[in-house]
Structure 1
Amino acid sequence: MQQIVEAVYENGIFRPLKVPELSEGQEVQLIVKSQTKIRPEQMLQLAAEVYEGFSAEQIQDVEQIALERQSFFEDSLIQ
């Protein structure tokens, strides 16, 4: 059986946020996927770094390509 159990890691122990459907003493395999949340100001900083080192012309070229490809995906969803 496979289930997703959200948990918090505290003091070296994974503490489930809800009671999982497990038997006491049952062995399980954990695959840890971090749920780190990015604050809005961090997201803006990351977005600003995308164009770091680019000239104004290069930024304009990249944005134009992105705009042109946007319609490609919209057209493929309509069909």
Structure 2
Amino acid sequence: MQQVVEAVYENGVFRPLKALELSEGQEVQLIIHAKSKIDPNQMLRLAAEVYQGLSDEQIRDVEKIAIDRQSFFGETEQ
């Protein structure tokens, strides 16, 4: 059985954030993928780089497309 388990590492042990369907004492194999913590200022810097190198006209075009959800996602009206 394979499952993805969200957990927190505290006091030297992993504490699952939700109950698991495991038998007491059952051995498992853990593969750790640490979630990176990006501070809000770093997130703003990354967001600002989206428009880097674009002209004002290109930025307006991108924003117009993003605001127009119908065109952005290729959806049609029902």
Give the structure-2-normalised TM-score: 0.60
One-letter amino acid matched to 1:16: F
* Stretches of structure 1 lacking an aligned partner (at least 5 in a row): none
Aligned twin of 1:29:
29
Percent of matched pairs sharing the same residue: 45
Structure (1 or 2) with the greater helix fraction: 1
Q: 1:39 to 1:22 in 2, by over 3 A?
A: farther
Any residues of structure 2 matched to 1:1-79 within 5 Å, and which? Answer: 4-8=5-9, 15-17=13-15, 23-24=24-25, 26=27, 28-68=28-68, 70-71=69-70
Give the structure-1-normalised TM-score: 0.59
TM-fit CA distance, 1:17: 3.2
* Stretches of structure 2 lacking an aligned partner (at least 5 in a row): none
CA contact (8 A) 1:6 1:16 kept: yes
* Misfit runs of 4+, over 6 Å: none
